[in-house]
Amino acid sequence: MDTITLSDRLLPPLFSQGITKEEWESKRRRELLSLFRDAVYGNVPDEQSLQVSYRVADQQEGSSIMSGNALRKSIEVTVSRNGLSHSFAFVLFIPLGKKHPVPTMLTLCNRGIADADPSRSFLSSFWPAETIVSQGFAAAVVLTSDIAPDYDEGFSLGLHKLFPEYKKERPSNLWGALGAWAWALSRILDYLLADPLLDPEKIGVVGHSRGGKAALWCAAQDTRFALAVSSCSGCTGAALSRGKGGEHIKDITERFPYWFCKNYRHYADNEGKLPVDQHMLLALLAPRLVYVSSKTNDAWADPQSEFASCVAASEAYRLFGTMGIEEESMPRPEHPLLGGRIGYHLKTGYHDMDAYDWERYLQFAKRHLE
Contacts with ligand GTR by CB under 6 A lie at 110, 209-210, 234-235, 247, 252
Q: Is 330 exposed, middle or buried (0-12, 13-18, 19+ CB in 10 A)?
A: buried
Contact of 197 with 139, CB cutoff 8 Å: no
Q: Which residues pair with 240 in a beta bridge?
A: none
Residue 236: CB minimum distance to ligand GTR, A: 7
Among the options 74, 100, 125, 351, which is catalytic?
351
How many Cα atoms are found within 13 Å in the side-chain-facing hemisphere of 92? 28
- Say whether 161 sits in a helix, a strand or coil: helix
- The smaller minimum CB distance to ligand GTR, of residues 234 and 243, is found at 234
Residue nearest to ligand GTR (CB): 209
Least distance in angstroms from the C-beta of 29 to ligand GTR: 26
| Orientation angle between helical segments 210-221 and 177-193, nearest 10 degrees | 60
Catalytic-residue membership of 209: yes
Would you say 209 or 278 has its CB closer to ligand GTR? 209
CB of 256 to ligand GTR, least distance (A): 7
Nearer to ligand GTR, 66 or 205 (CB): 205
Q: Are 236 and 213 in contact (CB under 8 A)?
A: yes
Distance between CA atoms of residues 325 and 337, nearest Å: 7
Residue 235 or 337: which CB sits closer to ligand GTR?
235
State the minimum distance, in angstroms, from the CB of residue 210 to ligand GTR.
Answer: 3
Of the candidates 212, 175, 315, the residue with the CA atom closest to the CA atom of residue 166: 175
Residues 6+ apart with CB under 8 A from 47: none
| Cα torsion 275, 278, 182, 325: sign | negative
Dist CA 369 CA 247 (whole Å): 34
| Exposure of 19 in the CB half-sphere (CA atoms within 13 A) | 20
67 DSSP 8-state letter: G
- Residue 32 or 252: the one with the smaller Cβ distance to ligand GTR is 252
Beta-strand relationship, 227-231 and 198-208: parallel
Q: How far is the CB of 80 from ligand GTR (least distance, A)?
A: 30
Considering 209, 293, 305, 314, which one is annotated as catalytic?
209
Judge whether 172 counts as a catalytic residue: no
Minimum distance, C-beta of residue 339 to ligand GTR, in the bound complex (Å): 29
Closest to ligand GTR by CB, 310 vs 353, is 353
- Catalytic center residues: 209, 351
